[in-house]
Structure 1
Amino acid sequence: MRNTTAPRTAAPARIDAPTAARLAVLAGATFVYVTFEVFPVGLIQDIAHSLDVTTGQVGLLVSGYAVVAALVTVPTVALASRVPRRTALVASLVVLIVAELLAAAASGFTMMVVSRVAAALTHGVLWSLVAPAAATLVPPERVGTATAAVFGGASLAAIVGSPGTTLIGELIGWRATLLVLTAATVAVTLALVRALAPRVAGAAPERDGPVAGRPLTGRPVADGAERVREDGHGAVNWPAVLTLCGVATALVTAHFLSYTYFAVIVADITGTSRATVVLLTVFGLAGAGATYLVGRYNDTAPQPAAAVTMAVFVAGAGLLAVAFAPAPPAVRYAAAAVAVALWGGAFAAAGPVFQTGVMRLAAGGADRASAVYVTGFQVGIAGGSALGAVLLGSSTVWLPLLTTLLAVAVLVAVLVRRPVPAVGARS
Structure 2
Amino acid sequence: MDPDRPAAATGSGTPPAPSAAAAVAALAALAVSTFCYVTSESLPIGLLAPIAADLEVSLPQVGLLVSGYGLTVAVVSVPLTQATRRVPRRLLLSGVLALFAAATLVSALAASYPVLLAARLVSALTHGVFWSVVAVTAAGLFAPRLRGRVVSVVFAGSSLAGVLGVPAGTWLGQQAGWRAAFVALSVLVVAMLAVFASTMPSGPAGVGHAARGRAPDVRRYVLLLVATALMITGVFTAYTYTTDFLTSVPGFPASAISALLLVNGVAGVVGVAVAGAATERSPRWALLAAAGTMAAAQLGLYALGESRPAAVALLALSSFSIGLLAAALQVRVLDVAPGSADLASAGTSSAFNLGIGLGALLGGLLLPALGVRSTALVGGLLVAAALAVLLTEPLLAPARPTGPAGTGSARRG
Do Structure 1 and Structure 2 share a fold, with TM-score over 0.5? yes
Which residue among 216, 225, 238 is the counterpart of 2:208? 216
Evaluate the alpha carbon distance shift between residue 217 and residue 289 of structure 1 in structure 2; reply closer, same or farther with a 3 A threshold. same
What's the offset of the Cα at 1:130?
Answer: 0.7
What's the offset of the Cα at 1:374?
Answer: 1.4
State the match for 1:252 in structure 2.
232
State the match for 1:73 in structure 2.
77
What's the offset of the Cα at 1:94?
Answer: 2.1
State the match for 2:101 in structure 1.
97
Structure 1 spans left out of the alignment, 5+ residues: 1-11, 219-227, 326-330
Q: How does 1:305-320 map to 2 (within 5 A)?
A: 305-320=286-301
Evaluate the alpha carbon distance shift between residue 316 and residue 382 of structure 1 in structure 2; reply closer, same or farther with a 3 A threshold. same
- Rounded to whole Å, the distance in 2 between the matches of 1:56 and 1:336 is 29
Instruction: List per-residue Cα deviations over 1:293-323 (Å, max 9, x = no partner).
Output: 1110201122321222112212332344457
State the match for 2:325 in structure 1.
350
CA contact (8 A) 2:223 2:390 kept: no
- Rounded to whole Å, the distance in 1 between the matches of 2:398 and 2:156 is 20
Which residue among 377, 391, 396 is the counterpart of 1:401? 377
What's the offset of the Cα at 1:129?
Answer: 0.8
Aligned letter for 1:286? A
Evaluate the alpha carbon distance shift between residue 420 and residue 29 of structure 1 in structure 2; reply closer, same or farther with a 3 A threshold. farther
SS in 2 for 1:299: helix
Evaluate the alpha carbon distance shift between residue 216 and residue 312 of structure 1 in structure 2; reply closer, same or farther with a 3 A threshold. same
TM-score, normalised to structure 2's length?
Answer: 0.82
CA contact (8 A) 1:32 1:181 kept: yes
TM-score, normalised to structure 1's length?
Answer: 0.79
- Rounded to whole Å, the distance in 1 between the matches of 2:103 and 2:399 is 37
Instruction: List per-residue Cα deviations over 1:204-235 (Å, max 9, x = no partner).
Output: xxxx2xx4xx32314xxxxxxxxx7x7x9x99
CA contact (8 A) 2:220 2:393 kept: no
Aligned letter for 2:346? A
Instruction: List per-residue Cα deviations over 1:23-81 (Å, max 9, x = no partner).
Output: 21111111111111122344456656666666555444333222211221122112222
CA contact (8 A) 1:267 1:275 kept: no
Q: How does 1:93-242 map to 2 (within 5 A)?
A: 93-106=97-110, 109-198=113-202, 203=203, 208=204, 211=205, 214-218=206-210, 236-242=216-222
Evaluate the alpha carbon distance shift between residue 337 and residue 306 of structure 1 in structure 2; reply closer, same or farther with a 3 A threshold. same
- Rounded to whole Å, the distance in 1 between the matches of 2:92 and 2:24 is 21
- Rounded to whole Å, the distance in 2 between the matches of 1:354 and 1:280 is 24
1:280 aligns with 2:235: no
- Rounded to whole Å, the distance in 1 between the matches of 2:170 and 2:259 is 10
- Rounded to whole Å, the distance in 2 between the matches of 1:141 and 1:357 is 14
Identity %: 32
State the match for 1:378 in structure 2.
353
SS in 2 for 1:81: coil
CA contact (8 A) 1:96 1:119 kept: yes
- Rounded to whole Å, the distance in 2 between the matches of 1:32 and 1:170 is 19
Structure 2 spans left out of the alignment, 5+ residues: 6-19, 401-405
CA contact (8 A) 1:31 1:154 kept: yes
CA contact (8 A) 1:290 1:345 kept: yes
Instruction: List per-residue Cα deviations over 1:348-377 (Å, max 9, x = no partner).
Output: 111111111111112762112112111212
- Rounded to whole Å, the distance in 1 between the matches of 2:151 and 2:267 is 18
**RMSD in angstroms over aligned alpha carbons?**
3.2
Aligned letter for 1:377? F
CA contact (8 A) 1:68 1:121 kept: yes
Aligned letter for 2:90? R
SS in 2 for 1:20: helix
CA contact (8 A) 2:270 2:323 kept: no
- Rounded to whole Å, the distance in 2 between the matches of 1:142 and 1:163 is 32
- Rounded to whole Å, the distance in 1 between the matches of 2:111 and 2:304 is 38
- Rounded to whole Å, the distance in 2 between the matches of 1:54 and 1:266 is 26
What's the offset of the Cα at 1:254?
Answer: 1.8
CA contact (8 A) 1:97 1:185 kept: yes
- Rounded to whole Å, the distance in 2 between the matches of 1:252 and 1:97 is 28
- Rounded to whole Å, the distance in 1 between the matches of 2:398 and 2:272 is 17
Aligned length: 386
Question: Which deviates more from structure 2 when the two are superposed, residues 30-39 or residues 273-282?
Answer: 273-282
SS in 1 for 2:208: coil
1:20 aligns with 2:1: no
Aligned letter for 2:224? L
State the match for 1:296 in structure 2.
277
Aligned letter for 2:133? L
Evaluate the alpha carbon distance shift between residue 265 and residue 300 of structure 1 in structure 2; reply closer, same or farther with a 3 A threshold. same
Aligned letter for 1:137? L
- Rounded to whole Å, the distance in 1 between the matches of 2:63 and 2:385 is 25
Evaluate the alpha carbon distance shift between residue 30 and residue 46 of structure 1 in structure 2; reply closer, same or farther with a 3 A threshold. same
- Rounded to whole Å, the distance in 2 between the matches of 1:45 and 1:417 is 46
State the match for 2:393 in structure 1.
417
- Rounded to whole Å, the distance in 1 between the matches of 2:391 and 2:63 is 33
- Rounded to whole Å, the distance in 1 between the matches of 2:319 and 2:98 is 29
Evaluate the alpha carbon distance shift between residue 421 and residue 145 of structure 1 in structure 2; reply closer, same or farther with a 3 A threshold. farther
State the match for 1:361 in structure 2.
336
